Amino acid sequence: MLSVVVFLPLLAALVLLAVPVLPGRAALAVWVTVAAVELALLTGMWLAADLGAGVTDGLDYEQRVPWIPGVGSSYHVGVDGLSLPLLLMTAGVFLAAGIYSLAEDKRPREYSALFLFLLSMSLGVFASLDLLVFFVFFDLSIVGMYFVIAGWGHAGAARAALQFFLYTFLGSLAMLVAFLGLYVAAGTFDMVELARNPPLESKPVAAGFVLLALSIGLAVKTPTVPFHTWLPPAHTDAPAAGSAVLAAVLLKMGTYGFVRIAMPILPEAWRRYALVFVVVGVVSILYGALVALAQDDLKRMIAYTSVNHMGYVLLGLGAAGVLSGGDAEQARAVAVTGAMMQMVSHGLITAALFLLAGVLYERGHSYDMRRYGGLAGPMPRFAALFAVGAFASLGIPGFTGFLAEFQIFAGSLATVPVAAALGIVGILLTAALFLAALQRVFAGPAGELTERIGGVPTVRAGGKAVKTGLRPKLRVDVNPRELAAVAPLLLLALVLGLVPRPLLDLIEPAARTVTELVS
């Protein structure tokens, strides 16, 4: 069943490429349909799932077929509380991106096929329980994203795409080095077996190096400071749907790797170096937020907030590895739960923000916030949606981001009080930067591009202002297609922020298991 979910989009992609006569609109409709089917299938699987503690035990929909028996690698997939939320989020984000892209007119058939390919690879990453399988999916997703940016991006796309490709590929190779190290130590690539009997427990030096290689690979992907410089150009030049998927799904592969591979398989080393991750997390939080604060380019700003948000995740995961004197196991589990929730939350909210940035670009052909202003006039619905997205991203209660960050802070204060206190300042900085952005783009007098978008009285004929080029609001403001893409993401972030139990019931057992494994 899980394999069907993973490979169905790939199959659809192949069909799309094989049938060149298919009109573009139909090809894009295939993307939306397949993503919707995937979401439905995954939801059904969630409802029917029989999940245990996860990670080492009680996984569901497991399938294991020998692949390269010589090295003990098998096609091994399955879900637990760590992977299922991300699988669901992935399908949802691809569905939204598909709806948003329904009007794409640049090689729509290939575009659709490429995204379906990416969907398969992304689902594969989160479903795989074998390091080699994980690696293959991980790398192929990078290839897919490379072509999305290079083929459909804005002006500087070629350079940005290459930088993205080389940087993340290089990172994945560091990760491969770590996988090989684990294999040599344990004789298997199977994540479940490795987590049950963590190798290298008695070889701290080797474990340290393996964790280093693994962490560099994952840190590039996440990205954390100082490995983040590929992110802003990649986002700035990617098409809106590509940015949404890149931020929502591909970044999570990095953080997911930490919680799925690094923590359970190298628990000793994780404990030993937990403070390093805490520090990297806090630096990412503050650095990402501060650099975002100084941006004039809306999309770059959102990109840097991703660095900030992923920093929270690392803070929570790092704090879970710090054993204080007292019995802080509950607090550490809360921190891991928050980190997992942040992955889902950031996926939903940032995907929405990037799609909204695309809406803006389509109207004004610029992301430069200095050239807008007063945009709430001609585009009230857009302003409302963006404001909701911004507040959700700055962690206003009611949305998932608040619960995620709240749990990360509350949980990590017990073990790393100073780092947590510094990290909390991050939510003030994100508030400052999002409010500044809202004010620059939407409030005040109309800016240069706003006038062009809204159409203002420019010609005076006989003393009377004549409105030239005035377009009806409906055509300027968010259209139904864009609304259908963005609103569900924000709505879901709201619903899960108010009624988090279904999601937390899924995450909490697995988060507890991870916490116990690193205890």
Smallest distance, another protein to C-beta of residue 505, A: 9
- Asked if 427 interacts with another protein (CB under 8 A), we say yes
Site string for another protein, 177-206 (x = CB under 8 A): xx-xx-xxx--------------x--x-xx
Nearer to another protein, 27 or 331 (CB): 331
Count residues contacting another protein (CB under 8 A)?
98
Query: Could you tell me how far CA 248 lies from the centroid of its own chain?
Result: 2
Of the candidate spans 2-10, 241-249, 254-262, 407-415, the one that interacts with another protein by CB under 8 A turns out to be 407-415
* Residue 15 touches another protein, criterion: CB under 8 A: no
Site for another protein, residues 224 to 283, rule: CB under 8 A: 226, 229-230
Q: Which amino acid is at 252?
A: K
Residue type, 131: L
The rounded distance, in Å, linking the Cα atoms of 496 and 503 is 7
| Residues ≥6 apart with Cβ < 8 Å to 299 | 235, 236, 243, 354, 357, 361, 367
Should residue 439 be labelled a site residue for another protein when binding is judged by CB under 8 A?
Answer: yes
Question: Could you say which residues in the range 482-511 bind another protein, by CB under 8 A?
Answer: 500-501, 504, 508
Residues in region 458-477 near another protein by CB under 8 A: none
CA-closest candidate to residue 296, choices 121, 190, 93, 447: 447
Which of the residues 127 through 156 are near another protein (CB under 8 A)? 132, 135-136, 139-140, 143, 146-147, 150-151
Residues 87-126, one symbol each (x = binds another protein by CB under 8 A, - = not), give -----------------------x----------------
Among 92, 122, 211, 123, which residue's Cα sits nearest to residue 503?
A: 92
CA gap 246, 243 in Å, rounded: 5
Among 87, 334, 349, 486, binds another protein (CB under 8 A): 334
Cis peptide before 226 (omega within 30 of 0): yes
> Across 122-269, where does the E strand assignment appear?
none
Task: Name the nearest CA neighbour of 510 among 38, 195, 218, 182.
Answer: 195
Shorter beta-carbon distance to another protein: residue 56 or 407: 407
Give the binding range for another protein (CB under 8 A) out of 4-12, 67-75, 343-351, 363-371: 67-75
For residue 256, the minimal CB distance to another protein (Å) is 20
Q: Which distant-in-sequence residues (6+ apart) come within 8 Å of 400 by Cβ?
A: 341, 344, 345, 348, 349, 392, 493, 496, 497, 500, 503
Is residue 54 at the binding interface for another protein, with CB under 8 A as the rule? no
What's the half-sphere exposure (Cβ side, CA atoms, 13 Å) at 198? 24
Q: Is 295 in the site for another protein (CB under 8 A)?
A: yes
Q: Of residues 115, 442, 496, 515, which one binds another protein by CB under 8 A?
A: 442
Per rule CB under 8 A, is residue 449 in the interface with another protein?
no
- State which residue, 39 or 133, has the beta carbon closest to another protein: 133
* Termini Cα distance of the chain: 34
